[in-house]
Amino acid sequence: MLRIGKLSNLIKNCTFIAMEKDNYFLEKFSSHDGENITIHHWPVEKPKLLIHLVHGMSEHGYRYHEFAKWLKKREIYAYAPDLRGHGKTAGSIENIGLFSLKNGWNNVVKDLKAITEYFSLKNPNIHTVVLGHSMGSFLIRSLIIDFPETANHYIFSATASHPGLKGYLGSFIAKSNSFLFGKKTKSRLLQLLVMGEFNKKIKKPKTRKDWISRDEKVVNDYINDPYCMKVFKNQFFVDLAFGVMSVNETKNILRMNKDKHYLFFSGSMDPVGNYGKGVQELYKKFIASGLTNTDLKLFDEGRHEMLNEVNKQEVYQYIYNWIDKKILNGK
C-alpha cells in the first residue's frame, strides 16, 4: 500500500507535454524541492530493463535519442532528464549553466534519485541500470554513495579519476570568482581551465570541439545545438569541483555497494579520462576497494562521446551484451 501511495504522489508531480511518431515522450517532473525537470523517454510496453541516461556538461537528454531508440528495439525502456541548468529544464538559453545557487550538486543527485524511483515504481520488478556520461558519471557515483539502493547496476561513460592539484586550484578559483563576481556570472576562465586543452592531441582539428567525436556530423550538430556550447557560471564550477573530487576520495569509494555490477567504458583518445590512463587508474581503485564486480572497456582511438562515435553500433552492442550477461542472463 505504501508503494502504491508513493507512486500516486510521484505521478501527480509529472505532467505530459508531447509525443512523437516513434513513441517518444517529453514530460515535466516536479522534483524533491519543486524544481521542474524535463524528462525525455522512449517507453516500452513490457520492458525487460529500465535504463536511466544521465548526460554530461553542456548538453541535454535528447542527444541520447539514437541510443534510446536502439535500446527500445531490444525491449529496454530508456529515459533521460535534462539536468538542472541544462536543456529545456533551464527554462531559457540564458539560464543554462547553473545547477542552483545553493547545494547544486546535491540537488541534482536528489533529482536523479526521485526520477529513478518514479520510473521504477511505474515498472515494478524490473531492474534499473543508470548510465552516466562524463559529468553524469560523477553525479551517479554520488547517487551510489548517498543513496545506494536507488538502482540495481551502474555504467560510467567517459569518467575520470581524481584531478589532483588541478582540481583544488579550480575549486579555489571558482569559489573566489563566485564570491567576487557573483554566483550567476559566466566564467570563460573556468570553462577554459576545464576544457581548454581537450583538443591538443587532435591532429589538424577542424573545430574546437573535435575532441568529442571522430564523426564530423556529431561535432557540427553539437556546435549548432542551441542548448550546447554555452559558457557556464561560477557557482556551477564550484559544484562541479566539489562533486568530482568528492566521488574520487577513497573513503567515498569504500562506501559504494559491493554487490552491484559496474562498467567503465571510454575512448582511448578521451581527454576527460586522460586518454584511458585515468579510467584505468579508477578501475584499479574500484577493484582494490572491494568492488570486484567491475568491468572496463577502452575503445581504441575513440574520443569523448563513444555513444556518438563512428563505431557507435559496436559500442551499443557491447553495452547490451554486458547488460545481457550481467543482469538479464539471456532473457
What is the residue whose three cell numbers read 529515459?
79
For residue 271, being part of any structural domain is answered with yes
Q: How far apart are CA 87 and CA 33, in angstroms?
A: 19
Residue type, 120: S
Partnered with residue 297 across adjacent β-strands are 265
Angle of helix 104-122 versus helix 135-146 axis, rounded to 10: 80
**Residue 9 near residue 15, CB atoms below 8 Å:** no
Does residue 197 lie within any of the structural domains? no
Phi-psi region of 97 (alpha: psi -120 to 50; beta: other; left: phi over 0): left
Mind listing the pLDDT tens digit of every residue in the chain (331 residues)? 334 455 556 555 666 555 555 678 999 999 999 999 999 999 999 999 999 999 999 999 999 999 999 999 999 999 999 999 999 999 999 999 999 999 999 999 999 999 999 999 999 999 999 999 999 999 999 999 999 999 999 999 999 999 999 899 999 999 999 999 999 999 999 999 999 899 999 999 999 999 999 999 999 999 999 999 999 999 999 999 999 999 999 999 999 999 999 999 999 999 999 999 999 999 999 999 999 999 999 999 999 999 999 999 999 999 999 999 999 885 5
- Cell digits of residue 259: 554487490
Domain count along the chain: 1
Domain span including residue 99: 2-163+246-328
Q: Of the candidates 200, 178, 202, which has an alpha carbon nearest to the alpha carbon of residue 189?
A: 178
In a domain, 199, yes or no: no
The answer to whether position 86 is within a domain reads: yes
Which residue has 551484451 as its cell numbers? 321
Residue 226 is assigned to a structural domain of this protein:
no
95 belongs to a structural domain: yes
Question: What is the reported pTM?
Answer: 0.94
Whether residue 40 is contained in a domain is answered as yes
Q: Which of 168, 212, 218, 216 is nearest to 193 (CA)?
A: 168
* DSSP reduced 3-state for 103: coil
Alpha-carbon distance 244 to 121, whole Å?
Answer: 30
Question: Are residues 267 and 306 in contact, defined by beta-carbon separation less than 8 angstroms?
Answer: yes
Domain assignment present for residue 187? The answer is: no
Output the CA–CA distances (angstroms, integers) from residue 292 to 162, 245, 249, in the order listed: 20, 22, 18
Q: Which CATH number belongs to the domain containing residue 281 in this structure?
A: 3.40.50.1820
For residue 136, what is its C-alpha cell? 553524469
